[in-house]
Structure 1
Amino acid sequence: MNHHANLSPEDTDRVIEMAWEDRTPFDAIYRQFELPEKDVIKLMRRELKESSFQMWRKRVQNRSTKHQKRNQSKGSVRFKSTRQKSISNNQIT
């Protein structure tokens, strides 16, 4: 299914921004926009210049922080400050 065709221009921009961020896992993009990793890749291929897309793919392909399952399998628990505000749907709650 082609979920990224239904995104607004603002949501498309946000998905691209989240995909570029090293610490934002694909699972977070899925939870917020219901885009599986393969659809994020298709969106990035469509929206970026070819050279930018290739650079992005090379960066994220084996990056464990983009894949929560790989990151969690290491058994480490990530620190989160008790003073850190939770973020839901791009809004501080």
Structure 2
Amino acid sequence: MPQTPDLSASQLSEIIEMALSDHVSFGQITQQHGVTPDQIKSIMRENLKPGSYQSWRKRVREFGDRREHYK
């Protein structure tokens, strides 16, 4: 599991909110917070309920298949 940097509660909250948005890419989150896509997925896995995490990953994968530049 990727090591996540020390983040404040507000930073974690912002990363989760950004990741849940369909309009923000992993690249934008990385630029703003310095976390890798694998770290973002790890943060989401740790902070969402299992079903919510699975739904989020499915949505990200499906959007990624339809759009060249998505998460």
Query: Shorter-normalised TM-score: what interval?
Result: 0.7 to 0.9
Tell me the matched-pair count.
67
- 1:63 is displaced (CA, Å) by 1.8
Corresponding residue of 2:69: 71
| Structure 1 runs (4+) greater than 2 angstroms displaced | none
C-alpha distance in structure 1 between counterparts of 2:22 and 2:63, whole Å: 8
Identity of aligned residues (%): 31
Considering Cα pairs closer than 8 Å and 6+ residues apart, tell me whether 1 or 2 has the greater RCO. Answer: 2
Uncovered stretches (5+) of structure 1, i.e. residues with no partner: 73-93
Corresponding residue of 2:37: 37
**Aligned residue identity for 1:37:** P
Name the TM-score, length of structure 1 as normaliser.
0.65
Name the TM-score, length of structure 2 as normaliser.
0.83
> Over alpha carbons, which structure has the higher Rg?
1
C-alpha distance in structure 2 between counterparts of 1:31 and 1:21, whole Å: 16
* Superposed CA RMSD: 1.9
C-alpha distance in structure 1 between counterparts of 2:69 and 2:39, whole Å: 21
- Report matched runs for 1:4-83 at 5 Å: 4=5, 6-64=6-64, 70-71=68-69
Structure number with the higher helix fraction is 2
Cα-to-partner distance string for 1:18-60 (whole Å, 9 max, x where unaligned):
0000010000000011111111000000010001101100111
C-alpha distance in structure 1 between counterparts of 2:29 and 2:61, whole Å: 16
Contact kept, 8 Å, 1:3 with 1:34, in 2: the verdict is no
- 1:62 is displaced (CA, Å) by 3.5
**Aligned residue identity for 2:56:** W
